Amino acid sequence: MNPVFPLSIAQMSDLHLFADENEQLLGIPTTLSFQAVIGRLKQLRCELDLLLLTGDLSGDGSPESYEMVQNLLHPLEISTYWLPGNHDSAIAMEQVLNLRLVSRRKSFERGGWHFILLDSTVPGCVHGHLSTKSLHWLDFQLSIGGNKPTLLALHHPPFQVDSKWLDSSTLQNPQDFFALIDRHPQVKLVLFGHIHQEFHRQRHAVDYLGTPSTCIQFAPLSSNFSLDPKSPGFRLLKLYPDGTWESSVERVPFSCKLDLAATGY
């Protein structure tokens, strides 16, 4: 019997690249930290089938920042999909991030899985919300997707993460989201970013996974804004056609002097 090979994915989030490649975010030169992650992905390139970017690709919403993303991803030659975060400009993303292997598609099938990417951003706000239109679209996509195991992705976590300052900016209508997911048992995984830290929670039969940022990390369980000195990271996933999966978080060596005295973000 032939072995079943999984679909291998790298999820990256919260890149915060700028038009000026030398600009720093709280002491971290985000272009360099992202390049460190790209360097590790180059080593894994033969094993990877797909890249998934879960928002805040830019720190300033500029077209130049998205051109930087695209140029840095190009040597990997891996199919890449993205969704916006609260720091992004959806208009600029649509215009720039649609060349070569970078796609703006939000519903697609790979490796026997159905992928659905959601926009949880609210213009001018840090918190997330899924509009009625987005929820109807999600319900429709799940209805036509059959019984294929399904992965959903959005920027904002649908759970509070026990950090008082972060919990005010999570998804504001999680119960609407959960109620919809409960009607579609093919949903196996929900991925998100925004919280700049590793996170895992299970609700019913669905696993919800947050991933570290490719630049700064937020300290878990913090009442006030606080940075974590952990290295930049990303999430690796292996998805099997029967709906089972494996996942791990990987950190990359990267050192710089964090601005640990920062009080705002």
List pLDDT tens digits, range 211-235: 999 999 999 999 999 899 899 999 9
Q: What is the DSSP string of 65-105?
A: HHHHHHHHHGGG--EEEEE--TTS-HHHHHHHS-STTEE--
- Asked whether residue 234 is domain-assigned, the answer is yes
Instruction: Please check whether residue 264 lies inside any domain of the structure.
Output: no
Q: Report the candidate in 81, 76, 96, 64 with the shortest Cα–Cα distance to residue 35.
A: 76
Does residue 64 fall inside a structural domain?
Answer: yes
pLDDT grade, residue 162 (50/70/90)?
A: very high
Output the domain CATH number for residue 97: 3.60.21.10
Residue 258 lies in a domain: no
Domain housing 247: 7-251
The pLDDT > 90 percentage for the chain reads 88
Closest by CA to 65, choosing from 15, 3, 134, is 15
Residue 207 lies in a domain: yes
Overall domain count for the chain: 1
> Which range among 20-29, 89-98, 190-199 shows the weakest confidence by mean pLDDT?
20-29
Provide the CB-side half-sphere exposure for 29 (13 A, CA).
Answer: 10
Asked if residue 1 belongs to a domain, the reply is no
Indicate whether 222 belongs to any domain: yes
Mean pLDDT of 98-123: 96
Residue 114 located in a structural domain: yes
Task: Identify the weakest region by mean pLDDT among 2-11, 101-110, 188-197, 229-238.
Answer: 2-11
